Amino acid sequence: MLANSESGYGLVSVLLHWLSALLTILLFGVGLYMVGLSYYDPLYHELPEWHKSVGVVLALLSLFRVVWRVLSGPPAPLAEKRWQGAAARLVHATMLALLILLPVTGYFIVTAEGKPLMVFELTLLPALLELTPNQTDLVGRWHLWGAWALIGLAALHAAAALKHHFIDADRTLIRMLTIKGQ
């Protein structure tokens, strides 16, 4: 039920996948929108706080995803062609890497001058190291480019899933929507 089986995904993997997808899209949209807000917008302070807090939640979720992948490996691959399997694995690995790297860069933007990162006005993540202004701006650009890369790969990933579902008529998409764990 919880863990993945040879033929399908368990509840944990399915929940992690769709929750990650939802939070990634929300964080991307809010992130792009919030940096364009005027100073007098009521959400000028609120959205960045939300982005940081939810970003930390997604970071923890992604770390757990890595652990879960080790504990409960994915079901047997569906791909018929070898290049399809390799492409899928490359895209999945890159997306997971970005899901870890994006919050790390975000953390360094917030803590660049030694102040802690506040999560839901409760917990403080202390600053580990101070960055120079140039380093901070560089990390900021990585955060933006990384976000676009993640969304681009996610779009490719979704397009591939839809292609498998509607054109190849195989179980790729169904498999992530049904729980067949052990």
Partner 1 sequence: MKTKMGYAFSMAVIGAALLTSGLVQAADTYKMDTKGSHAFIQFKIQHLGFSWLLGRFNTFEGQFVLDDANVEKSSVKVDIDVASVDSNHAERDKHLRGKDFFDVATFPKAGFVSTKIEKTGENSAKITGDFTLKGVTKPITLDATYIGGGKDPWGGYRQGFEATTQLKLKDFGIDYNLGPASEVVDIYISVEGIKQ
Residue from 112, 147, 151, 154 in contact with partner 1 (CB under 8 A): 112
Largest Cα–Cα distance of the chain, in whole Å? 55
CA-CA distance, 101 to 153, in Å (whole number)?
15
| Candidate segments 69-77, 94-102, 111-119, 147-155, binder of partner 1 by CB under 8 A | 111-119
Helix (H, G, I), strand (E, B) or coil at 118: strand
By beta-carbon proximity to partner 1, the closer residue of 72 and 111 is: 111
| Candidate segments 64-72, 106-114, 145-153, 169-177, binder of partner 1 by CB under 8 A | 106-114
Q: Does 121 interact with partner 1 (rule: CB under 8 A)?
A: no
> Which residues 140-169 are close enough to bind partner 1 by CB under 8 A?
140
Q: What are residue 49's phi and psi, to 5 degrees?
A: -65, -45
CA-CA distance, 164 to 48, in Å (whole number)?
37
Of 103, 61, 75, which Cα lies nearest the Cα of 8? 75
Q: Does 89 interact with partner 1 (rule: CB under 8 A)?
A: no
Q: Does 137 interact with partner 1 (rule: CB under 8 A)?
A: yes
Q: How far apart are the first and last CA of the chain?
A: 4
Residue from 62, 111, 151, 180 in contact with partner 1 (CB under 8 A): 111
Where along the sequence are the contacts to partner 1 (CB under 8 A)? 38-40, 48, 109-113, 115, 133-134, 136-137, 140
